[in-house]
Chains A and B, each alone.
Chain A
Amino acid sequence: MVQREGSVCGANSGCTHRPGAHRRKEEREMIRFFERDPYSPVEHVYEVEKVLYKGKSRFQEIMVIENAFFGKVLILDGILQLTERDEFFYHEMLTHVVLHAHPDPKRVVVIGGGDGGAVREVLKHTCVEKVYFVEIDEEVINVSRRFFPSVSCGLDDPRVETRIMDGAEFVKRIPAKADVVIVDSTDIVGFARTLFSSDFFDSVRRALTDTGLFVTHTESLHFHKDLVIELQGKLREVFPVVDLYTVPIATYPGNWWAFAVGSQALCPREPRRPLQISTRYYDDEIHRQAFLTRRFYRRLLNKELPW
């Protein structure tokens, strides 16, 4: 929701008697974007230089705004998805951890992530031969191509095959097994929740090779610890190896963002290939350090951490 900050009484309002008070540029009526994440105990508010796009797809409201600090910002159903300034933290850490934990990933599936950021990162790995990019909402791809060329830049790569469909349906009928499946979805209680069901996790496992890995975000460990634990438990019913790592993200409420890994066999904590790609945040040390310490992880799952 974009609100006009009209009711605030400031120095430029009619109630000032200061002689010669001029309307300065920074005192002009500022439009603000109030993020509406019902489950966030804090509310993020962004100053809006410009609303670049506002539309409605079959699935959701799509909006692009310009913010002086973060650059262009993509918003779906009132919730911030990415900003030009910090998207690489999320996209690099979503993709490179499992890709480096695999000794030779050739076939990768990206579900969601219509902006193309995850695909861009996957393509940095020269060993990857095929990327299935499965997005349910084509409008998000179109908007990203138009407003976020630096994010969507990989989508025309010949290794990428785009499918506009429900990712849960795609993995059930995957043409050949994948080495890595990456889910880049919107909020867990929204329409993307099919990507967090036990059925889906089970289809993903069956879509993976014997050494395959799966990763998905599971929200903030600060705000939604119960959900993080719940999803670790659900993955554990399906995958022999399950783990969790976290990434600091400036713009997602709760900031301490958790990523859940389900693996057929390989421990995701160890990179199995040298770092040969160019990244801004991810590296092999960050990889290891992103995982919770084993004691802390155990205490988390045992619900011994009261917050």
Chain B
Amino acid sequence: MVRNFKVERHHARIVSKSTLFKVLDYLDSREITTPCLLVDKEKVREKVSLIGRGIRNAKVFYALKANPDMDIASFLQDERDLGYEISSEGELNVLASVGVRAERIISSNPVKSEKFLQAAFAYGVRRFAFDSSLEVDKMARLTPGAGVYVRLSVPNEGSEWPLSRKFGAELEEALGLLSLAREKGLDPIGITFHVGSQCTNLYNWNIALDKAKILWDRALVQGIALRILNIGGGYPINYTRAVLGIETIEENIDKLIREKFPPDVEVHIEPGRAVVGDAGILAASVIGKAKRRDENWLYIDVGVFNGLMESVGGIRYTYLVESSKGTRRNWVLGGPSCDSFDVIDKNVVLWEPDLNNLLLILSGGAYTVSYASEFNGFSIPKTVMI
């Protein structure tokens, strides 16, 4: 059965024709249980090959938290130069179960549980981030001799999902932490920062790299020769509009790194969203409609709790709806749960669907399934690679 989707220009700006064709073809040719997340393998492969290409000596580590699906983790194993960035035993278990070698794994979570440190060290992981002296104590005890990189606090303005207040040491403190790590028998190898997820402000990387440069040089004065500059993630993807391209971002970053850092610096990048975000389309079903005062409500089987948590933080999606009607309406988009907080979006103009028609959420591959809970008994979307 060919489902009737009216593809328009604002969809074309967000999802490539080949990804959309694959998804629609998949949905036409079988009964699916919604909600489910369809991830285009080719698009993932394309993104992986693009990220890091514009930066000298770059190594890319997929931030598993964006989508820790076993099939994705396994698929990425074939990308020979790609590593993984993890934070927990759960994530380590995913990688262990698909047989990822320890050399490909780093952990950039500055505050890690002791259990995780033990498990990761036992597995063979030897690179960890930190930003406090207590963490140095923990690591000296549980991961002796490991390579450690300090998390520097940098501005997150312009990122749609800012992160910086929770983590990151200021310059003086960071310098002290690197020395402390050395004293305690750890190997201080580098610096990391995070400009914030979905960062659309090119200038954030400038400020962060300036700050990292100061720390790099001051560490050298203290006899600590750093080798790794971990620039975190933050590469944005298209949700409702075209954002900065990866080539543009990396051209800028590469220029700055070449200016400021020694030629043999190893640059680590930790994209999550940019790897799987725009390769994924979340398919939901219409489970109800209602007119409430002057608002049209559309209820779908994925909501804030079971997949669209980021809508709370301000991420807005582009939707493609199955419809056989010729009317467009302005909708309030509600999730399936009984909680009144479960509202995904407002002022969404869509063709009017019928009950059980599909609603596709474009660029839904990252931080959807991994954030989801089964609150109120609604199922978490299953990830399917196509």
Instruction: State whether B20 touches A197 (Cβ < 8 A).
Output: no
B45 to chain A, nearest CB (A): 9
Known: A38-B8, A227-B17. A191 touches B2 (CB 8 A): yes
Q: Which of B190-210 contact A (CB under 8 A)?
A: none
Given contacts A189-B17, A193-B2, contact A38 B25 (CB under 8 A): no
What residues on A are CB-neighbors of B42 within 8 Å?
Answer: 226, 230
Least Cβ–Cβ distance between B54 and chain A, in angstroms: 13
Q: A150 CA to B98 CA in the complex, in Å? A: 62
Asked if A130 lies at the interface with its beta carbon under 8 angstroms from chain B, I say no
5 residue pairs A–B, Cβ–Cβ below 8 Å: A189-B7, A194-B2, A196-B25, A199-B29, A226-B46
**A224 within 8 Å of B (CB atoms):** yes
- Within 8 Å of chain A (Cβ to Cβ): is B21? yes
A197: chain B residues at CB < 8 Å are 25, 28-29
In this complex, what residue of B is CB-closest to A195? B2
Q: What 1/0 mask marks residues of chain B from 13 to 37 whose CB sits below 8 Å from any chain A CB?
A: 0001110111011001100000000
Interface size on A, residues (CB 8 A): 19
Which of A38, A198, A229 has most B Cβ within 10 Å? A38
Q: How far is the CA of A177 from the CA of B225 in the complex (A)?
A: 74
Give the A-binding residues of B (Cβ under 8 A): 2, 4-5, 7-9, 11-12, 16-18, 20-22, 24-25, 28-29, 42, 46
> Per DSSP, are chain B's interface residues mostly helix, strand or loop, or mixed?
helix
Q: How far is the CB of B32 from chain A (nearest CB, A)?
A: 15
Q: Which residue of A lies closest to B8 (CB)?
A: A38
Which of A38, A191, A198, A224 interacts with B4 by CB under 8 Å? A191
Known: A191-B4, A226-B42, A230-B42. A39 touches B22 (CB 8 A): no
Q: Do residues A38 and B2 form an inter-chain contact, with CB atoms below 8 A?
A: no
Q: How far is the CA of A31 from the CA of B16 in the complex (A)?
A: 32
Whether B2 and A39, one on each chain, are in contact in the complex, defined by CB atoms closer than 8 angstroms, is: no
Docked-complex contact B4 and A188, CB < 8 angstroms = no
Q: Which residues of B contact A229 (CB under 8 A)?
A: 18
Query: A38-B8, A189-B7 known; A230 and B2 CB under 8 Å?
Result: no
Contact of B17 among A36, A194, A199, A226 (CB under 8 A): A226
Closest to B49 in A: A303
Whether A189 lies near B16 (C-beta < 8 A) is no
Indicate if the CB atoms of B18 and A224 lie closer than 8 Å: yes
Distance between Cα atoms of A42 and B102 in the complex (Å): 48
Report Cα–Cα, A23/B7, bound state, in Å.
Answer: 41
Q: CB within 8 Å of B: which of A128-186?
A: none
Residues of B within 8 A of A198 (CB): 25, 29
Give complex CA distance A224, B17 in Å.
7
Query: Complex Cα distance A193/B11, Å?
Result: 17
Task: Tell me the residues in window 213-235 of chain A with beta carbons closer than 8 Å to chain B beta carbons.
Answer: 219, 224, 226-227, 229-230
Alpha-carbon separation in the docked complex, A197 to B4 (Å)? 16
A146 to B87, CA, bound (A): 68
Given A191-B4, A193-B24, does the pair A38, B9 have CB atoms closer than 8 Å?
yes
Contact A189-B24, Cβ < 8 Å, known A226-B42, A227-B17, A227-B18 = yes
Query: What is the distance, in angstroms, from A203's C-beta to the closest C-beta of chain B?
Result: 12
The docked-state distance in angstroms from the alpha carbon of A36 to that of B7 is 11
* Measured CA separation A194–B20 after assembly (Å): 14
Q: Chain A contacts of B29 at CB under 8 A?
A: 197-199
Interchain CB contact (< 8 A) of A193 among B12, B28, B46: B28
A39 to B211, CA, bound (A): 42
Given contacts A197-B28, A199-B29, A230-B42, contact A38 B7 (CB under 8 A): yes
Q: How far is the CA of A190 from the CA of B25 in the complex (A)?
A: 11
Q: Which residues of A contact B18 (CB under 8 A)?
A: 224, 226-227, 229-230
Nearest-CB distance from B15 to chain A (Å)? 10
Nearest to A36 among chain B residues (CB) is B9
List chain B residues, Cβ under 8 A from A199.
Answer: 29
Assess the A193–B21 pair: CB atoms within 8 A.
Answer: yes
A194–B11 Cα distance when bound, in Å, is: 20
B223 to chain A, nearest CB (A): 44
Docked Cα-Cα span, A229 to B17, in Å, equals: 12
Determine whether the beta carbon of B16 is less than 8 Å from that of A38.
Answer: no
Contacts of B16 in A (CB 8 A): 226
Please state if A188 and B21 are interface contacts (CB–CB under 8 Å): yes
Q: A36-B9, A199-B29, A230-B18 are in contact. List 11 more A-B contacts (CB 8 A).
A: A38-B12, A188-B21, A189-B5, A189-B24, A190-B7, A193-B28, A194-B2, A197-B25, A197-B28, A219-B17, A230-B21
Residues of B within 8 A of A193 (CB): 2, 21, 24-25, 28
**CB-CB < 8 A to B25: which residues of A?**
193, 196-198
Alpha-carbon gap, A196 to B12, bound state (A): 19
CA–CA, A197 to B3, complex, Å?
13
Residues of B within 8 A of A39 (CB): 7, 12, 17
Top-3 shortest CB links A-B: A226-B18, A38-B12, A227-B18
Interface centre among A39, A194, A196 (most CB of B within 10 A): A39
CA distance A226 to B2 in the complex (A): 22
Using Cβ atoms and an 8 Å threshold, which residues of chain B touch A190?
7
Q: How far is the CA of A219 from the CA of B20 in the complex (A)?
A: 15
**Residue contact B21 to A196, C-beta cutoff 8 Å:** yes
Q: Which interface residue of B4, B9, B17, B29 has the most chain A CB atoms within 10 A?
A: B17
B234 to chain A, nearest CB (A): 25
Q: Contacts of B2 on A, CB cut-off 8 Å?
A: 191, 193-194
Question: How far, in Å, is B350 (CB) from chain A's closest CB?
Answer: 16
Distance in angstroms from B112 CB to nearest chain A CB is 38
Among A189, A196, A199, A224, which residue has the most Cβ atoms of chain B within 10 A?
A: A189
The complex places the Cα of A36 from the Cα of B46 at a distance, in Å, of 28
